[in-house]
Amino acid sequence: LNYGMPEHTRQMLNSLSAADIAHLLESSPPRQRSILWKLIPVEDEGDVLNEMGEEVRQFFIDQMNIQELISIFEDQDVDDIADILQQLPKQITYRVLDSMDYQNRQRVEEVLAYPENTAGGLMNTDTVTVRKDITVEVALRYLRQHNSLPQPLDQLLVVDRFDQFQGAVPISDLLTADPSTLLADLIDHAIQPVPVSMEDTHVAQLFEREDLVSAPVVDESCHLLGRITVDDVVDVIRDEAEHSIMSMAGLDEDEDTFAPVLRTTRRRAVWLGINLITAFIASGVIGLFQETIDQVVALAVLMPIVASMGGIAGSQTLTLIIRAMALGQIGKSNTTWLLTREGLVGLLNGLFWAIVVSAAAMVWFDDQTITLVIGLSMVINLVVAVLSGAMLPLVLKSLDIDPALAGSVILTTITDVVGFLSFLGLATLFYT
Amino acid sequence: LNYGMPEHTRQMLNSLSAADIAHLLESSPPRQRSILWKLIPVEDEGDVLNEMGEEVRQFFIDQMNIQELISIFEDQDVDDIADILQQLPKQITYRVLDSMDYQNRQRVEEVLAYPENTAGGLMNTDTVTVRKDITVEVALRYLRQHNSLPQPLDQLLVVDRFDQFQGAVPISDLLTADPSTLLADLIDHAIQPVPVSMEDTHVAQLFEREDLVSAPVVDESCHLLGRITVDDVVDVIRDEAEHSIMSMAGLDEDEDTFAPVLRTTRRRAVWLGINLITAFIASGVIGLFQETIDQVVALAVLMPIVASMGGIAGSQTLTLIIRAMALGQIGKSNTTWLLTREGLVGLLNGLFWAIVVSAAAMVWFDDQTITLVIGLSMVINLVVAVLSGAMLPLVLKSLDIDPALAGSVILTTITDVVGFLSFLGLATLFYT
């Protein structure tokens, strides 16, 4: 692929879909990326950009001039144009908007007016609307007049002459109904419109729960604004899931797998720096007990066990609660139950592993005091760890801090500090 | 909700969709769950069970007798029945199958014949098929004869009289075409059938990439077997994402948030036990250097820093590579590039943080040897950590071990051992 034969590669690229080309570019290191990009036909560039992750897209957008950008936006869906425009500097956005015809420009500006992470930012404005007083036959004739219909078409949206949303008629009902049936009689009242300000993660939960393919979007006074389709919702679900996974390691969900060395180093350094503070706090705690360690060096050998078991137990609870919160399972009525459950689980596991670890310590060092100290501190640290793991996400959420990002760092600080403090503290108490 | 007023609650439950009731049950502690379940109308129980996570579903299934189970399967989709049957003991499955009429039984057995995590396990057998030599008008008349059509209906599947798949006609094209057009002329050749043995995660990638709503499923000789719909694919994506997040903490993706104390304790204990082995290995390494620590107690204070920074750096790389593998971005052609990049990132971050940590150690302990030792071991551990983080998922995958589950435990073992070994080993070298 990399050397020679551009003609051959060009042919191969022509046989791939835009999504496949985007995937190929995302899976290539920077140099190959630029080579491949030049081989893509100009008219396909827009489609390929649409299918890409934000960071990789930025890489290509940065290399384009205004004229190239403008040509890319031709023939794109309104919501996709809005998506890309949000990545551009303000000034360039204005120049691109200026280049569009009036109708398109208005549509794009409408979508841009809503925050990216709401129903408004997800919606598309190309809908097929009908009046409720027409028959199935008329509706079918009306549809036939279109050259193409927006995809996927699973329902016709019924509005009045003020564009007020009246209901939706599933296409499958339209196809099985008698031609003389009025659309008013086919409206499926289970189909509820989505308010334009609904958060995108809530939209995703709604689609998942109700198995939707598309959903109408309305403003506060129930005017139809557009519709959301399941393909965009799938992206929201994927992004949300990646956000949880990536931010636990201090990474961004749009992170380019093949980002160059220096950019990667700089980004990771930030996270390492934050964690270094945690590590120094833990060291500070150990530093308080230097004299005790000097007396009983076995303490230094065993102390990481207490801290690390606390970290593991806490992160299990943290993960479970973050997921439950994402699924909307946590409310006032069940937090007490959950905290009690976690506390008991921590206590039982603390007692069990305290016995195991104490026995091992007894065999290893043949010292009753150290056996007692490590057992006690295991129980303390495991209980504190699971309770912190359960409460941290709730506290962080109420402070509007992302628990997936900050949770594990704060939790590790707590489990390290409590682990070293209880172990070395108890040891100091018992040995002196 | 919990006390009294069952009539009131019953009314509220009647106004909720099956998905909402399932969500409510999943968000309730065990006791409320049983109370709520009794208030659900028997005819809705099947729908509610379908919308639940596996573990919570098991809770209710365990309490049912055969007759109740059989009644629940009435009016359910074939793939949903198959899903639940897979959770039942073999003997009960046979008795439920016996209770079905011949046609339904055959359909369910067909789906059960395919592994759960393949296209065959995901598919539904209710499809609308047509011949390619009929006109649009005839096709519409044919559709109108149905009482209801399978949802979502985005395409008609064209087969010959041997049920060989011939292509698919998008409904939107059917609606805009002239009534006299032959379906043969409307077949969209971009729509490719999915082989029945395709892995479910690949099916999900295909749906995501091509923005599909449904896809036909065929066997090796291209016979149409059924179709997969996007709502089931959304579940696969969600499950896959949850699997990654949950298994990093040693949890199961179907884990019931409100599982009782004892079951939770037992499950978590397993993961804590595995991690305890890691912790003891690390302690063993420290134990080798007790004499050195006895000489210079500052080593005990600083040693967790080296190990923990390695753990963080490694887990960043691990997370990135696991995600890239899930997205299908990693192949032979780019692993060398990635390993080189990660090695360089580790080296640069190692050097940078070595300077920072050394400076801090110098200020704290005013000891040139310890400054040198911690700097050197930081560089060693960070390089080893990122390279292990990058290679581990590839190695584990080739051994058919889930990297999300085993990756972090093994990585921690490596970074702890290398961290303590390099730091205390170098210290021993320099101090004696």
From A283, which residue of chain B is nearest by alpha-carbon distance?
B301
From B51, which residue of chain A is nearest by alpha-carbon distance?
A209
> Quick one: CA dihedral B319, B325, B331, B332, positive or negative?
positive
From A86's Cα to the closest Cα of chain B, the distance in A is 22
Query: What percent of chain A stands above pLDDT 70?
Result: 99
B6-116 classified as CATH 3.30.930.10: no
Order of strands across the sheet that contains B214-218: B194-195, B214-218, B224-229
| Spatial contact of B177 and B203, defined as CB atoms under 8 Å apart | no
Length of chain B: 432
Q: What is the pLDDT of residues A284-306, one digit of tens each?
A: 999 999 999 988 989 999 999 99
Q: Which of A262, A302, A309 sits opposite B275 (nearest CB)?
A: A309
pLDDT of residue B363: 92
Q: Which A residues, 94 through 123, put their C-beta within 8 Å of a C-beta on chain B?
A: none
C-alpha closest to that of A252 among A100, A118, A53 = A53
At A4, the pLDDT band (50, 70, 90 cuts) reads low
- Those residues whose C-beta lies under 8 Å from the C-beta of residue B262, and which sit 6 or more positions away, are A348
Helix (H, G, I), strand (E, B) or coil at A216: strand
From A347's Cα to the closest Cα of chain B, the distance in A is 9
C-alpha closest to that of A79 among A22, A121, A127 = A121
A:B CB pairs within 8 Å: 352
User: Which CATH architecture fits A6-117?
Assistant: Alpha Horseshoe (1.25)
C-alpha closest to that of B53 among B81, B95, B25, B88 = B25
pLDDT of residue B5: 66
- Which residues on B lie below 8 Å from A283 (Cβ)? 301-302, 304-305
| Spatial contact of A259 and A55, defined as CB atoms under 8 Å apart | yes
**Which of A244-248, A380-384, B263-267 ranks highest by mean pLDDT?**
A380-384
Give dist(CA B236, CA B200) in Å, integer: 7
Q: In CATH, what class is B261-431?
A: mainly alpha
| Spatial contact of B54 and B87, defined as CB atoms under 8 Å apart | yes
Give dist(CA B89, CA B432) in Å, integer: 65
Q: Which two tokens stand for residue A165?
A: 């949303």
pLDDT of residue A74: 75
Q: Which two tokens stand for residue A11?
A: 């042919």
Give dist(CA A407, CA A250) in Å, integer: 11
Give dist(CA A161, CA A135) in Å, integer: 17
What integer is the mean pLDDT of A142-158?
90
What integer is the mean pLDDT of A197-226?
91
**Chain B within 8 Å of A195 (Cβ-Cβ)?**
no
Helix (H, G, I), strand (E, B) or coil at A372: helix
**Which of A9-18, A90-99, A421-430 ranks highest by mean pLDDT?**
A421-430
Whether B261 and A352 lie within 8 Å, measured CB to CB: no
From B292, which residue of chain A is nearest by alpha-carbon distance?
A297
pLDDT of residue B143: 93
> Quick one: CA dihedral B2, B4, B10, B16, positive or negative?
negative
Token pair 């897209």 is found at: A57
From A174, which residue of chain B is nearest by alpha-carbon distance?
B144
The secondary structure of residue A44, as a DSSP letter, is: G
Q: What is the CATH number of domain A129-229?
A: 3.10.580.10
At A5, the pLDDT band (50, 70, 90 cuts) reads low
Q: Give the C-alpha distances (Å, rounded to integers) separating A378 from A219, A246, A340.
A: 55, 30, 19
Give dist(CA A405, CA B312) in Å, integer: 13
Token pair 């172990």 is found at: A423
At A89, the pLDDT band (50, 70, 90 cuts) reads confident
Q: Phi first, then psi: what are they for B223, rounded to 5°?
A: -75, 135
| Concatenated DSSP letters of A129-183 | EE-TTSBHHHHHHHHHT-S--PSS--EEEEE-TT-BEEEEEEHHHHHHS-TT-BG
Q: Is B148 exposed, middle or buried (0-12, 13-18, 19+ CB in 10 A)?
A: exposed
Give dist(CA B170, CA A267) in Å, integer: 46
The secondary structure of residue A224, as a DSSP letter, is: E
Q: Phi first, then psi: what are they for A2, rounded to 5°?
A: -75, -30
Whether B261 and A344 lie within 8 Å, measured CB to CB: yes
Q: What is the pLDDT of residues A103-128, one digit of tens each?
A: 788 888 877 888 888 998 888 888 88
Helix (H, G, I), strand (E, B) or coil at B149: coil
Q: Which of A258, A297, A356 sits opposite B293 (nearest CB)?
A: A297
Q: What is the CATH number of domain B129-230?
A: 3.10.580.10
Q: Which two tokens stand for residue B131?
A: 């011949």
Q: Is A162 exposed, middle or buried (0-12, 13-18, 19+ CB in 10 A)?
A: exposed
C-alpha closest to that of B149 among A123, A265, A115, A173 = A173
What letter represents residue A172's amino acid? Answer: S
**Chain B within 8 Å of A282 (Cβ-Cβ)?**
yes
C-alpha closest to that of A88 among A72, A77, A75 = A72
Q: What is the pLDDT of residues A10-64, one digit of tens each?
A: 777 777 888 888 888 888 888 888 888 888 887 788 888 888 888 888 888 888 8
Q: Which two tokens stand for residue A183?
A: 């659309």
Give dist(CA B61, CA B52) in Å, integer: 11
pLDDT at A3 over 60: no
DSSP bridge pairs for A91: none
pLDDT of residue B142: 94
Whether A249 and B210 lie within 8 Å, measured CB to CB: no
Which residues of chain B are modeled with pLDDT < 50? 1-2
Give dist(CA B7, CA A175) in Å, integer: 40
Give dist(CA B154, CA B90) in Å, integer: 36
Domain spans, chain B: 6-116, 129-230, 261-431
